[in-house]
Chains A and B, each alone.
Chain A
Amino acid sequence: MILGRVIGQVWAARRDARLQRAKLLVVKPHAIYEPAFGTRHLVATDDVDAGVGDDVIVCLGAPARASAGGNDMPVDAAVLGVVDRFELNLEAMRAAGAGPGIKRALTVPAGAGATRK
């Protein structure tokens, strides 16, 4: 799973029949995951009625299909949770030699109720 922020929504009148009831969100990963094709975003189905600006947990692959309704769903990413708090242990990050990517990840979601210790 990865963390990201909802930046929009996609509407489509013509869509796969199995996706008729799916809400499709555009999610920008928190600079800590590179989606395929260098697109810097993902389109994910929504299980939890997330809105623009929410920080969310996105699940990839088969579990995303399972949550969207079954293994035959044409889906590879699903929003499974709205983050209300996360904690980063800076000492552990320093010890791990956390690079600039993680520092970016640290700063981006700070407005979302992140706590640091």
Chain B
Amino acid sequence: MIRGTVVGQVWATRKARGLDGQTLLLVAACDAEGRATGRLVVASDTLDARAGEDVTVAFGSGARNVLRAGPENRDLLCDAAIAAIVEGAG
């Protein structure tokens, strides 16, 4: 997982059916010190994260597990998902 900050949202009307119902947020990826690296990730959101909130983003099968846990989730069209909203980090 990586840390990042929610900075926006993206909408698509023409999309694969598997994206229906997914909220897609733009997350500015952070480095180890919590500073933005200049990279944006499009991550699926199930936790109602708001702009400005720090989050952790899971990738790969970890991202699919956020949307639907279990080994039978390889059909999900998701490669990045917000796994937690960060309240503090040391």
The 20 sampled A-B contact pairs (Cβ below 8 Å) are A1-B79, A57-B15, A59-B79, A61-B60, A62-B74, A63-B79, A66-B18, A80-B15, A80-B19, A81-B15, A82-B12, A83-B11, A83-B12, A86-B8, A86-B26, A88-B7, A89-B8, A89-B51, A96-B30, A99-B37
Q: From known contacts A32-B38, A92-B6, infer whether A66 and B19 are also in contact, taking CB-CB under 8 Å.
A: no
Contacts from A to B (Cβ < 8 Å): 1-3, 30, 32-33, 47-50, 57, 59-64, 66-67, 71, 78, 80-89, 91-93, 95-102, 105
B contacts with A: majority SS: strand
Task: State in angstroms the CA–CA spacing of A103 and B13 once bound together.
Answer: 26
CB distance from B39 to the nearest CB of A (A): 5
Give the one of B9, B28, B30 with max A CB within 10 A: B28
Cross-chain contact of A98 among B7, B9, B79 (Cβ < 8 A): B7
By the criterion of a CB under 8 Å from any partner CB, how many residues of chain B are at the interface?
41
CB distance from A42 to the nearest CB of B (A): 13
Q: Using CB atoms, name the residue of chain B closest to A54.
A: B14
A contacts with B: majority SS: mixed
Contacts from B to A (Cβ < 8 Å): 5-16, 18-19, 24, 26, 28, 30, 35-44, 51-52, 59-61, 64, 74-80
Q: Using CB atoms, name the residue of chain B closest to A80.
A: B16
Q: From known contacts A57-B24, A97-B35, A102-B28, infer whether A84 and B13 are also in contact, taking CB-CB under 8 Å.
A: yes
Residues of B within 8 A of A84 (CB): 11-14
